[in-house]
Structures are given as structure tokens and as C-alpha cells.
């Protein structure tokens, strides 16, 4: 493809609690224009938390967009100016009631590149110590450890569909388990 795509205009259509919805007017490489949707997101961080026995901590919570409960790794949005490593550790403790003695960057994902800029940095959290959950007022989260093989089966059977969770599980397995 020769030429460039150039954004000519971006107009805010609606602002929600965690996203902003825009209509973009873009000029295509052939000179024609098109209107594209854009959803702006402030970013998030997540942690794949591994207990000393090798099981992974998962959180079960209701997700309004799907109108059902999901099984995921702990994650959440960034506070203004907050480094993603701090957000991942904070979300781990808030949602699971565990703090980590060691945390390191695993991968970065972009969840829906066709229309959204959401970026999630995913960290590996180990040397876990139990404390207590610190849930937000509107959060109801169940925590349970799972064997890696069980989680893989849940991915392939369609019981886990969350992209950050799937990416984290396979990145962890490929980098740390299949060595």
C-alpha cells in the first residue's frame, strides 16, 4: 500500500467512566475520506500470580459487557500517573488479597487494535503472601487457584475467553514452564 492514512479530525462523541468514544475523519491513501470509530482508554495493568506450588490465582467476577461471570487474571485501570508495575501489584492485592515479593514484566498487549488504543502491561507476580482483599465498592470477586493444565483446558473449551488472561497464561507457560 502506497501513501499514508492521515487523521483530519477527531470529535468526542461520548465520555464514560473508563473510555471516551470518538468519531475520526481520516484521509485514505487514495485521497478519499472515511469516518472511523475510536475508543480511547487510559490503559491497564494485570498480574499473573503464581503460588509457590505452581497454581495460578484467578478471579471470578461479573462483567457487564458480557452479562455473565468470567474467570480472569487480576487486572485494572491505571490511576493518573501510576506506573503499570505499581498498578499490577495494587490490583493483585485489591482483588486477590495477596501481595507479591517479586514482580516482573511479562508482556504488553493491545486488546482491540481495530478501534481502541487500550494497552495492558502484564506482569508475573511470585513470592506471594496472603493478606486481605481491598475491593472497590462495586466489586465482588471470588479468588481461586488453578493448575495451569486446567486453565489451558478451560481456554480451549471456551470457558475462558478473556484476551489478557489467555495471552498471560500462554506467555507464562512458554517463558517459564516450557524451558
The set of catalytic residues is 137
Cell of 119: 494497552
How far is the C-alpha of 75 from the C-alpha of 67, rounded, in Å? 19
Nearest residue to 35 (alpha-carbon basis) of 46, 52, 47, 23: 23
How far is residue 134's CA from residue 87's CA, in Å, rounded to a whole number?
14
What is the rounded distance in angstroms from the CA atom of residue 9 to the CA atom of residue 156? 42
For residues 15 and 1, give the distance between their C-alpha atoms in angstroms, rounded to a whole number: 34
Query: Would you call 104 exposed, middle or buried from its count of C-beta atoms within 10 A (0-12, 13-18, 19+)?
Result: exposed
What residues contact residue 158 under an 8 Å CB cut-off, 6+ apart? none
| Look-up of cell digits 486446567 | 150
Amino acid at each position: 500500500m502506497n501513501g499514508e492514512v492521515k487523521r483530519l479530525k477527531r470529535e468526542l462523541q461520548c465520555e464514560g467512566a473508563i473510555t471516551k468514544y470518538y468519531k475520526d475523519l481520516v484521509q485514505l491513501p487514495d485521497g478519499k475520506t472515511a469516518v472511523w470509530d475510536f475508543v480511547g482508554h487510559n490503559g491497564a495493568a494485570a498480574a499473573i500470580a503464581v503460588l509457590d506450588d505452581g497454581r495460578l490465582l484467578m478471579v471470578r467476577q461479573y462483567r457487564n459487557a458480557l452479562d455473565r461471570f468470567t474467570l480472569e487474571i487480576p487486572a485494572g485501570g491505571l490511576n493518573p500517573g501510576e506506573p503499570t508495575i505499581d498498578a499490577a501489584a495494587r490490583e493483585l492485592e485489591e482483588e486477590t488479597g495477596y501481595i507479591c515479593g517479586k514482580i516482573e514484566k511479562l508482556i504488553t498487549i493491545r486488546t482491540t487494535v481495530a478501534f481502541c488504543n487500550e494497552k495492558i502491561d502484564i506482569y508475573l507476580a511470585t513470592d506471594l503472601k496472603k493478606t486481605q482483599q481491598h475491593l472497590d465498592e462495586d466489586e465482588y470477586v471470588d479468588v481461586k487457584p488453578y493448575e495451569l493444565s486446567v486453565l489451558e483446558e478451560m481456554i480451549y473449551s471456551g470457558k475462558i475467553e478473556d484476551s489478557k488472561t489467555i495471552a498471560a497464561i500462554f506467555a507464562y507457560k512458554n517463558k517459564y514452564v516450557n524451558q
